[in-house]
Structure formats: C-alpha cells, structure tokens
Amino acid sequence: TCSLLRSPKGFPKLKNDTFLRAARGEETEHTPVWCMRQAGRYLPEFRETRASQDFFATCRSPKLCCELTLQPLRRFPLDAAIIFSDILVVPQALGMEVVMVPGKGPTFTEPLKEVEDLLKLRQKVDVTAELGYVFQAITLTRHSLEGKVPLIGFSGAPWTLMSYMIEGGGSTTMAKAKSWLYRYPEASHRLLRLLADVIIDYLVGQVAAGAQALQLFESHAGHLGPELFQDFALPYIRDIAQSVKSKLKEEALPLVPMIIFAKDAHYALRDLAHAGYEVVGLDWTIRPQEARAQIGKHVTLQGNLDPCALYAPKEKIGELVKKMLESFGTQRYIANLGHGLYPDMNPEHVGAFVEAVHAHSRHINKH
C-alpha cells in the first residue's frame, strides 16, 4: 500500500538485487527482466486508477504514482520497478505548459517558435520546488516496495525534450526541432545546456529520494544522423553521466548504475559504450551479436525484444526469448523490450515474457 510518507532514511533491505548486479557486471543466477512502460494502460487496474484523473495531475500525486508503479509487480515477478512519471515534467519545471490531449498525446500549449522564446523559460530551476512531487513519489514507493526489487528513476535526455518543446508534441519528422539545429546552432546549445543542468539536478534528487538506478531516455535519437547526434546529443549525454556521478560523490549519495537508452541510434553505439553509463539499452532493430561486438564486454546491455513480439502466441514468445538470451548471453545482460509496452497488449503475454526470461536464463546458466 502507498500510505503516508516516511523519511527517506531507513529504507527496507533489498531482497532481490539481480538487476543491480547485472547492471554492474556481476554474475547473476538468472537474467533480470523489466519492461519499459510496465506501469501502463495495458493493465486494466491502471486504467481504473487513472480513469478519473488528468494525466499530469496523476504524475503530481505521489500516492497514485506509487500505486501505478507497484501494479505490475503484483502481477509479474519483475526484477525492477520504474517510477511512474513522464519525461515532460522537465519542460514543465522550466515553465512550459503541457496538457495530455485524448487521442493525440502530450501537447504544448505554446511551443518554442523563435529563439526569443528561450527567454520565457526559467533560467534557474529549483528542482525540489518544481519536481519535489517526483521525489516524494520515489521515497514513498521505495518504502512501499518493501525491498522486493530495486526502484529505477529516469529522465528524458536534452535533445528528446528539446524536440518536444519545439514540435509542441509528437512528430514523424521532427523537422521544426531539427531546423533549429541547422538554423540556430548556438541557441540550440543554450537550450540543451539549460535542459542538461536541470536533468543533472533532477537525477541526483531522485537518488537522494531513494532511486537505486537511473535511466536516461534519448527516445528521439533516430531522427538525428551521426553528425547531428555527435554535435547536439552525445556531449550532453556524456556530461549528464559525469556530472551526476560527481555530484552523487560530493553529496555522499550512493553511486547508482546509469542506463542510456538512445532509440534507433545504432550509428552511435561505440560512442555510447564510452559515455560513462554502466548499461546501454537497445531497440529491436539491431542484432544482439553486432551490438555486443560494438559495445564490448565492459558495459551491460539491455533490451531488445520487439514489443510487437508480445502479440505472438505465448509459446512463440518463449522461443523468441530463448533466442534473444542465446544471442546476448545471460550475463552482463538485462532483458527488456526494445521500446515500451503498447496499450492493447495482453497482460498474460507480458507475464509469459517475464517467466520465459527467468526459465531460459536459469536453464542456460545451469548447462
């Protein structure tokens, strides 16, 4: 249950640290598994909890975030929980208004159009004042998990957030946001720097609140080619890892493993392997062996089952999981999908995926 807030100190002892051990490259008895968007609309209980509430109002309620984070763990033996929140809380902290439009998704009422619009953004963000509700949700959830599994915190990466702030919502081409990179490179860097600074404080705050791992989502990496990625995404991705780690040290906070998930950025896997993250997340468009060859043996891989594989019959899901585990190897690996779960997926198929990872990885490890 997600009742009263307790102090961040005195968290329950962790009973299953398989996910954290795999992230750090230690040996595990089974391959750990969790799913992006595991707290989500594919669960009837999620839809019920969320029914009466505006989406971002839900994000601002620590109690509801806690409940939604725990729901998938009541159903499935997942090896990690990820806090229920949204990447767009960061642009909100900068003073932008975002509303969730049914059938359309997140929409910015006033996207950034001109370079002058950058002046409307808060230049200094007090993350505790603006995003304290996420920290409260993390602390509450960490207690409510009772040490069952570790809790992952997350943020969107600067380019992905910038693209939303300029496009005003989803886009198939990101042409408006990309035009900034070509037309206004200096202003683009100013915006990316501002975002990176907020993200660094936000991630450190999540660890202070109780997050035991962090994932950075560069969901729109696929819209950039190698050169734009090199100029406008990678430097900030690197800086975030470095700065978060040095601040955690300064504040005597735990050095938690960090995951970078840059969707569709196979052209950058070598760079991402050296960007300062313990784990590199993969989408489904790359062969496991190729990813392992490019990333090397010193970084853990996470992913990369095609989410649509979960539409297959359960036996077929088992075969696909087995193949994935044989390709990646069961060690230095965290099983996941190559993107989030879709709203129309059958929860039983999610369960089949999770169980197949545990069963096949244990079998492979024994033999």
Catalytic residues: 37, 41, 50, 86, 164
Q: For residue 290, give Cα distances in angstroms to 280, 285, 320, 322, 325.
A: 13, 11, 18, 18, 14
Helix (H, G, I), strand (E, B), or coil: what is residue 304?
strand
Per-residue tokens: 71 = 């729901």
- H helices of the chain, where? 18-23, 44-50, 55-59, 62-75, 89-93, 127-144, 158-167, 175-183, 185-209, 226-228, 234-250, 269-273, 288-295, 314-328, 347-366
CA 293 and chain centroid, separation? 24
Contact 283, 269 (CB under 8 A): no
Measured distance CA(91)–CA(69) in Å, rounded: 22
